[in-house]
Amino acid sequence: MNQNPYDSPSHDPSDASADAFDPGPASPAKAPPATTLKLWFMMFLEFFIWGAWLPLIFGYLPKLGFTAFQQSVILNAFPVSAILAMFFSNQFADRNFAAEKFLSFSHVVGGLAILGCGFVTDFWSFCILMWVHCILYVPTISITNSIAFAAMKDATREFGLVRMGGTIGWIAASWPFLFLLGGKIGEEVTYIVAGIASLALAGFSLTLPHTPPNREAGAELAWVKAFRTLAKPAILVLWLVTMVDATVHQWYFNWTGRFLEGIGIPQNWVMPVMSIGQIAEILTMLVLGYALKSLGWKTTLIFGILGHAVRFAVFAFLPYQAPVILVNLLHGVCYAFFFATVYIFVDEYLPKDVRSSTQGIFNLMILGVGPLVANSLGPYLFEQFTVDGVTNYRGLFLIPCVTALAAAVILAIAFWPPEKKEA
């Protein structure tokens, strides 16, 4: 999401052997500045594409006359693609194609598909185009990480700066629509802009550092080994709570755009207002290390979940523009204190040979199962709380608020992280 709650590195730099990052004098401390700039711009475009269409699609589909079921079918293209990517597409691409060429091909075909969504209004055409786009786009989230990690000399120092390009790209995707939609250009322009950006990335991908396929033997079943880590009670509890938190997080995207318009925020300001959360996310990431050291794993994670509860409580009980806009600053807490902390925890406590694959099964919940549940229930719940065109947002928002509170209680009672890092 945005350093999106939906992203984690596909390659863990700590999984490499010690001599893979030779600190000798012949090795540069960092990748060349030109390479770093290319990687940064790659991330910028990658998340600009997603950020251009996601925030407004939840309000756009009802305007096209699609039923709640039809909306769910379209919205679930992304999480289902994430599940497919976990078990099939990511590994197939990683082991059979140079990463930069797969990235280029995916963005040509996926870009044309999302571009087409801006010109069609019937269900079947829109649905097929969105599914084609998502099936090809979702694996590229991991592919861009693979390209970045392969090109960097010191991933622990460089990846944060490179990945920040994605967060800035998500934010940048929001602001043009302040002017475009303000000029009465329809929401279909979001898909056209996403398509143009995707085609631009397709061409730019061919200038990226060559990243050959990884034909490592036995890696096909890495996810099987990862699932065995769920035998550890702390990992299992965190994995299940992650699914709940990802569901709650996706409900924010499902309903917030329409809610903001409902309290009088002009349509062209909806995406900029929602992007406040991503700006706060950058700032929150800067203090995450201090928070983990001061509060510990459990308390930090609980604060992350409670951020959702507070935000939805404000939406429910203080539905006025000023508090609603200000509470979006909590998005940074929701992301950094939970999702980013989950990734760091896995890297910190699991053995080297399963860290990357275990990141993958957590990503399965964040990118796949959580959003799948939210997108399946979201349109139905919205209809249930809407009578004669008037939505009972208080009742609607209490559902994720209470769900987040329950998840925080479960984490407080049942999550006990190990005292020491495993070898």
- Distance, in Å, from the CA atom of 197 to the CA atom of 113, rounded to the nearest integer, reads 12
Range in 162-171, 191-200, 217-226 with the lowest mean pLDDT: 217-226
pLDDT reported for residue 9:
42
Note whether 181 and 56 are within 8 A (CB).
no
The Cα 416–Cα 423 span in angstroms is: 19
Give the chain's mean pLDDT.
85
Per residue in 262-280, pLDDT (tens digit) is 999 988 888 888 888 888 8
Q: How far apart are CA 212 and CA 99, in angstroms?
A: 6
Give me the mean pLDDT over the 337-365 stretch. 80
> What's the pLDDT band for 14 if we cut at 50, 70, 90?
very low
Percent of the chain with pLDDT over 90: 53
pLDDT digits (tens, 9 = 90+) for 232-268: 999 999 999 999 999 999 999 999 999 999 999 988 8
Position 26 confidence tier, pLDDT thresholds 50, 70, 90? very low
Q: What is the pLDDT of residues 69-83, one digit of tens each?
A: 999 999 999 999 988
Query: Average pLDDT, stretch 123-144?
Result: 94
**pLDDT category, 420, cuts 50, 70, 90?**
low
From 66, 17, 15, 127, select the one nearest 382 (Cα to Cα): 66
Domains and CATH numbers, the chain: 10-216 (1.20.1250.20), 223-423 (1.20.1250.20)
| pLDDT mean over 129-146 | 91
Residue carrying structure tokens 């990118």: 367
What pLDDT was estimated at residue 279? 83
d(CA 79, CA 365): 9
Among 49-53, 58-62, 172-176, 250-254, the least confident range: 172-176
Please report the pLDDT score of residue 13 as a whole number.
35
CB contact at 8 A, 48 and 173: yes
C-alpha 326/C-alpha 1 separation (Å) is 19
Check whether 221 has a pLDDT greater than 90.
Answer: no
β-sheet bridge partners, residue 386: 391
**Residue 46 in tokens:** 């990658």
Q: Residue 386 phi/psi, 5° resolution?
A: -120, 120
The CA distance from 81 to 88, in Å, is 10
State the pLDDT at residue 202: 97
Q: Residue 156: which pLDDT band, with cuts at 50, 70 and 90?
A: low
Question: What are the tens digits of pLDDT across the range 371-386?
Answer: 999 999 999 999 999 9
Tell me how far apart the alpha carbons of residues 139 and 328 are, in angstroms, rounded to a whole number. 29
Find where tokens 């769910």 sit. 72
Q: In this model, does residue 15 exceed pLDDT 70? A: no
pLDDT over threshold 60, residue 410: yes
The answer to which of 198-207, 231-240, 356-365 has the lowest mean pLDDT is 356-365
CA distance 404 to 334: 11
pLDDT tens-place string over residues 80-119? 998 888 777 666 776 778 889 999 999 999 999 999 999 9
> Residue 19: is its pLDDT beyond 50?
no
Residue 179 binned pLDDT confidence (cut-offs 50, 70, 90): low
In DSSP notation, 300-342 reads HHHHHHHHHHHHHHHHHH--SHHHHHHHGGGHHHHIIIIIIHH
Label residue 173 exposed, middle or buried (CB < 10 Å: 0-12, 13-18, 19+): buried
State residue 419's pLDDT score: 65
The residue ranking higher by pLDDT, 263 or 421, is: 263
* Rg over CA atoms, the chain: 21
- Determine how β-strand 390-391 pairs with β-strand 386-387: antiparallel
Map tokens 């693609």 to a residue.
Answer: 81
Residues present in the chain in total: 423
Mean of the pLDDT values across residues 201-219?
A: 81
Q: What is residue 390's three-state secondary structure?
A: strand
pTM of the shown model? 0.79
